[in-house]
Amino acid sequence: AGCGIVRLDDAGRVVGFVEKPQTDEAADPLRTPEEWIERRGIRCNGRPFLASMGIYLFSRKALLDLLN
Task: Encode the chain (68 residues) as per-residue pLDDT tens digits.
Answer: 588 999 999 888 889 999 999 999 999 999 999 999 999 999 999 999 999 877 778 889 998 999 99
Task: Give the pLDDT score at 12.
Answer: 84
* Tally of residues, the chain: 68
Task: Give the pLDDT score at 1.
Answer: 52
Task: Give the pLDDT score at 65.
Answer: 94
Dihedral over alpha carbons 10, 12, 13, 17 (to 10 degrees): 100
Strand ranges, E, within 1-68: 4-8, 14-18, 50-52
Task: Give the pLDDT score at 13.
Answer: 87
Question: What global pTM score does this model have?
Answer: 0.65
